Structure 1
């Protein structure tokens, strides 16, 4: 039986941020299928790989920038360069508030850029709003 497409691909190496994000989605029942990858190479393999590594495409990618193996900006560049993934919404969800990261993310085609709040309640609220917008309200192009 083929694997069902994840609603969200979460690209995040920090285990605490993974747990907070998953907790928020569960709490508000926003995403039934979240697939987590822990580094940039794993994200590329999942989205662009051939054979067993590649999986079904998600509705949205939540992408951290400061990732091991392949930096998030490079992941974004490669996703936008490939016709299979060029139209998948990518939300950069990162601790970086640097103007150069923000500007480069948008230049490379990010759909949104969010600096992760340090406060737990605000982080949960950000995840709730992200889920509502990208999974319920946004109308994606036909594949």
Structure 2
């Protein structure tokens, strides 16, 4: 299943992130975010984390590769940036992230062989100024149930 959202500004980006967060609360879920540099992957993740009750400042884990935050319900929100992992073929032990809480993975193509089969894929394409096109695809029963409810 696939849905496309034409987003006009940062407020609509935040609203989409909040809606997905509301549908994801309490679930073990992996969300992949892909798009060019500056497409808004980290901006979306900040709004998503805030909607899950994360109190800490969410910023890009480009150099650390992974950061962990605590959701309001105590479950972890993992934020991974696989950009620096291009060309690595070893298993880096991300299983824990995908088996506990919610994981958001930027540049997921670089670790596609390590992702769980059931995940929500979000692709972000740049438009003019703050305009973006979000293409969201489900890859299994849990992600399909979330996408079905997304308006």
TM-score between the two structures when normalised by the length of structure 1: 0.36
TM-score between the two structures when normalised by the length of structure 2: 0.35
Higher relative contact order (Cα pairs below 8 Å, separated by 6+ residues):
2
